[in-house]
Every structure is written in structure tokens, then in C-alpha cells.
Amino acid sequence: MSLSDNFDIVKNQILKSIADSGRTPDSVKLLAVSKTVGCDKIKEMFDLGQKDFGENRPQVLRDKAKELENLPINWHFIGHLQNNKIKYVYPVATLVHSIDRRELLDEFIEWAKKTERKCPVLLEVHISREEAKQGFDVDEVLDIIKDYRDNEFLDIRGLMGMAPLDADENKVRACFKELSSLFQKSKSLEGKAYKAEELSMGMSGDFPIAIEEGATIIRIGTALFKE
């Protein structure tokens, strides 16, 4: 299978899921997770029409963005972010999906003050309840939004979450439904800094369910870049 074949298959699957859900074609954005491939594959996928790419390692994001700086790529960061690695991500990221603690929000406030640029972010919610995963607890994320929703140095655009790996469809759907419910509730908490615009959930193995439950961004790597 070529990248072009993969791209067409994924796009058709997305459009079918959107249609089955009664949504409009422009209501879901495809994020190509390029963490396992080199810049040549990213360029090839870009030439096919894909503009949004996601990386999970700060230095790799920095290096790929530098190598492909002549292309108008929207770079997303989707991995766990340590405080001392913000410097690699903040200047280049279009959207950081993985803000998982207050400390990071406070750091992004300081970065906005010194760079005079607000880097858009999503709050990661620990919907899988797996020990290995990060994120705000389901029971605390709305309070986090209340605390930061009017901060003039933040640009928080919604929520992100991951279902458990290898879980059955019912469990995956329950996780996505829970996150979607939180997202809807958060709309009443919007302020200067918080806007409930993006709901990032769903990967190669479960994105049709995520679309059915309201995802606006789906993060797909394997299905796009497999040989």
C-alpha cells in the first residue's frame, strides 16, 4: 500500500463515519501522527493535501519543523511535555494537545509573557484511568477551566483524551462519551482564555467511534503511514 492509498482509505472512512453521524464534512480535522516517520514521508503526505502533523517528542518536533520550514505545515504536539522541554515546543506548535497539570499551565503563562505569543493548548483528561497515562482527573478538569478561563496569557481551546488500548468497543465508547459530556459542560465555562472549540480523541483503531461521539480532531498515525 502506498501513502496515497492509505490516505484515500482513511479519508473515505472518516467521511463515512461523519455521514453516519449526521455531521458536516468540515466538522472533523485529521491530524497525521508522524512520530514514526521521517521528513520525506511527511513531505509526501503534505503533497497529497495533508497540512496538520503531530509529534510526541519535543526535540524531534523542533528538528522536523526546522527541516521542513519551507512548507506551511501546522505542527501539533501530542506527547507528554516536561517543563524543561517547553522551549522546543512552544515556538513552533500550532496546538499542544497534552497539557496535563497546573504546573504546565503556569509555565505557559510565563512563556506567553516573555514571547508575547500565546501558544494554543488543549487540556488532557485522564479518561482511560490507566496508570501509565497522564491527564487531569475527570472530576477536576472543570475546576481547572474555572481557575484559568480568564487568564489573559492563555489560549485553551478544548479537551483531549485517549481511550484504553485494546479495550472492547463498549469501553472505548464509554470513555469517549464521558469526555464528550465534559466538553459540552465546559461550554458554559468559557471565558477570555477558554473556548470549547476542539475535542481531540480517537486514533487509528477507534476513530470512527470518536467521530460518532463528537471528536473534532482525530489523531491517526499507523493507518496513514503503514507500509
Which three cell numbers, joined as nine digits, stand for 119? Answer: 501558544
Contact between 13 and 208 (Cβ < 8 Å): yes
Q: What is the pLDDT of residues 142-172, one digit of tens each?
A: 999 999 999 999 999 999 999 987 778 999 9
* pTM exceeds 0.75 for this model: yes
Enclosing H/E stretch for 213: none
- Per-residue pLDDT at 164: 86
Which three cell numbers, joined as nine digits, stand for 12? Answer: 473515505
Domain span holding position 186 = 3-225
Q: What is the pLDDT of residues 93-131, one digit of tens each?
A: 999 999 999 999 999 999 999 999 999 999 999 987 766
Enclosing H/E stretch for 163: none
- 54-to-9, 75, 103, 115, 190 alpha-carbon distances in Å: 20, 6, 23, 23, 26
- Per-residue pLDDT at 121: 98
At 213, which CATH number? 3.20.20.10
| Confidence band, pLDDT 50/70/90 cuts, at residue 132 | low
Contact between 136 and 126 (Cβ < 8 Å): yes
- Closest by Cα among 35, 30, 32, 1 to 17: 30
Query: Chain-wide mean pLDDT for the chain?
Result: 95
Number of domains in the chain: 1
